[in-house]
Structure 1
């Protein structure tokens, strides 16, 4: 793949959702998902209003059945009565018929290719002949074309939202648990969209593992370009958790893609009040957009990361334990990702194979802003192997917070694990227990386990 040094936003078509546009020349849109019971119309309206007041531009609601569709209609009507025209999104799983109904009334419908027509995942390996596989695709096509026709008739937008954890047994059997499988899961649907001349569709491929999420989205962009597609992209790290870890994990995954111009709308998924997601998303978009105004760096085609095999380090914390010499690269440019890529490439071209540490200064006194900015700046550099360490300088932030942030970035990029990893979904109307308090209790009891992964799911 190509590693750019200057910010250039990917060109995409425009998708109309209610009165706003996603993609094209529109701003990167910020959205969230309610965690209320959709059938509790009053509570859902109140939470939607809080999300919108915080800066959310779309609000998604779980829509398990036709009863929830009717409730969502009432939520939309009440918001309109109050003069609020923010688009609403119906989140549909397993029930293709529910998507058909929701598309008649709601601004946008999200379906999951992994469970739209395929049965619920049973983790079975199924051997398909080519003709049997084609027959399954024909069944998918018949149902999906019906939904597209409804969307056309009602000017409804669609999101094809693939999740790493819910690939169908059919896809898993043929492609395995791979980025290629995730991409093909959505490309099957996109080819039908193109055939039916339906372009009002947004795509997402999400994972809780940032490396998988970034790799898959990059592969999706390449696959779409190869087939002449330019649909807008929705970014998010699913099941990112809460607190510092959730913010850093989201900023690493989303920020790495935004920095390369990939992404037209984002959702930061936190296992907290969904209103808390909005300022994190706004900070992330604002920070990456500052790359666009940075002075241009010389364009070059020789930028390729070279793995050094060196352990990932945090300086100055790990200085006394280094077994080899690291070179420190000080980043002062407005686009640190492009600058460090270029500096590392200069080293490699000169035959210098020492592992590199990126040093970056942050002047903000706000902890959340610092953590989001640092994670976005360093994420892709660590994941792609341009650097093997980082040194964060933030005079207005407590030293222990700076240190904890650096190690959390290494963990979020899968380079070094120093504590328990929590894979926790944000919760939604399908969640039948208090996920947020449960996560806090589990963290209190297990946070001392290094390298352990614990899933807390709704």
Structure 2
């Protein structure tokens, strides 16, 4: 059956792959006995084709903008130079600082709302109400879809389906809070819960929280990493590296670390680092540049799918890769 087997491939020792696979498997095994989600009659989402959900723009969120990341103290950046704040409703009522964050119930009965942007928290049960009438109160709404269950990905998807089936194009931030789990488990859970939605073109922002065990910067980095992996927002260099096998005749872990150190500032560039020429060229087919083992102490360097240099000695290959990037105009000096 689909999903009976999990394979995790890391550019590390193979014994480090099993614990990650177990965390992923346990995430789904632990939700078996939880509450179900009511079936839908019309699913507008194609299971095998990507389609970005169209949304209107509200204060730089949605529309053609890259997804935002809500940071500590409810701050978010809607441009490279502009940082805005979501404000808890009680505080906003007294000093009107930032944009108000309503629960769905509070928004339904509110007689004072922002003329610029109103952030409205919704969970799946809110869709059992007259929610279309409530959201018709304003066009300046950013929805914040929140789930507090182990079924969060399915719940969030169901909420998006309700919007699509009712032709509502308000932008949506996907929110999830985690607690009492380690940093590694947090990163894996968040990637599974939220990444699947962005891969399908759902979501105009991401908001993840954890208890005080994890730094705010690490949570922001996790959110940006999820968006990068889903190709929703590119903020760093992208690397495609294989787990290696007996055909790999160089230390791929050390080489990957060296390439990352030299090229980590090339935002948006995609570099493939492959152990051999058997599977490597196919696995990195969409990379901008490739570093592929070609025998003992020999490396082939690629630009796209084309081999540019063959049999480069391993000790010189990283520098020659940088030269290749320079020659094709993709190099910038690090700050």
Aligned residue runs from structure 1 range 119-138, under 5 A: none
Once superposed, what is the RMSD of the aligned Cα atoms?
2.0
| Residues 283 and 456 of structure 1, relative CA distance in 2, 3 Å threshold | same
Shift in CA distance, 266/320, structure 1 to aligned 2, threshold 3 Å = closer
Indicate conservation of the 8 Å contact 1:294/1:334, yes or no: yes
Determine if the alignment matches structure 1 residue 364 to structure 2 residue 180.
Answer: yes
Q: 1:301 to 1:291 in 2, by over 3 A?
A: farther
Q: Equivalent residue of 1:326, what SS?
A: strand
Matched, 1:415 2:162: no
Residue 319, structure 1, aligned to residue 319, structure 2: no
Which is bigger in relative contact order (C-alpha 8 A, separation at least 6)?
A: 1
Contact 1:364 1:370 in 2 (8 A): no
Paired residue secondary structure (1:291): coil
Alignment-derived partner of residue 44 in structure 2: 304
Kept in 1, the 8 Å contact 2:68–2:77? The answer is: no
Q: Distance in 2 between matches of 1:435 and 1:404?
A: 25
Q: Deviations over 1:299-349 (max 9, x none)?
A: 113233533344222113772426985311111122011111122223334
Aligned length: 198
Aligned twin of 1:444:
261
Separation in structure 2 between the aligned mates of residue 278 and residue 373 of structure 1, nearest angstrom: 16
Q: CA deviation at 1:288?
A: 2.1
TM-score for both structures, normalised by structure 2: 0.55
SS at match of 1:359: strand
- Whether the 8 Å contact between 1:271 and 1:426 is mirrored in structure 2 is yes
| 1:35-434 equivalences in 2 (<5 Å) | 262-305=2-45, 306-308=53-55, 309-310=63-64, 311-316=66-71, 319-321=76-78, 326-395=142-211, 396-434=213-251
Map Cα deviations across residues 132-168 of structure 1 (whole Å, 9 max, x no partner): xxxxxxxxxxxxxxxxxxxxxxxxxxxxxxxxxxxxx
Q: Secondary structure at the match of 2:31?
A: helix
Q: Which runs of 5+ in 1 are unaligned?
A: 1-11, 13-261
- The structure whose residues are more often strand, as a share, is 2
Distance 2:165 2:177 in 1: 26
In 2, the alpha carbon distance for the partners of 1:327 and 1:287 equals 27
Deviations 1:12-65 (A, max 9, x none): 3xxxxxxxxxxxxxxxxxxxxxxxxxxxxxxxxxxxxxxxxxxxxxxxxxxxxx
1:357-405 Cα shifts (integer Å, max 9, x gaps): 1100111341110000000001221111222221001123111111000
Counterparts of 1:410 and 1:320, CA distance in 2:
15
Rounded to whole Å, the distance in 2 between the matches of 1:454 and 1:418 is: 15
Checking the alignment, whether the CA contact within 8 Å between 1:410 and 1:417 is kept in structure 2 is yes
Gapped runs of 5+ residues in structure 2? 46-52, 56-62, 83-139, 276-335
Of Structure 1 and Structure 2, which has the larger fraction of its residues in helix? Answer: 1
* Aligned-pair CA distance for 1:455: 1.0
CA distance in 2, matches of 1:429, 1:413: 30
Contact (CA 8 Å) 1:303, 1:342: kept in 2 or not? no
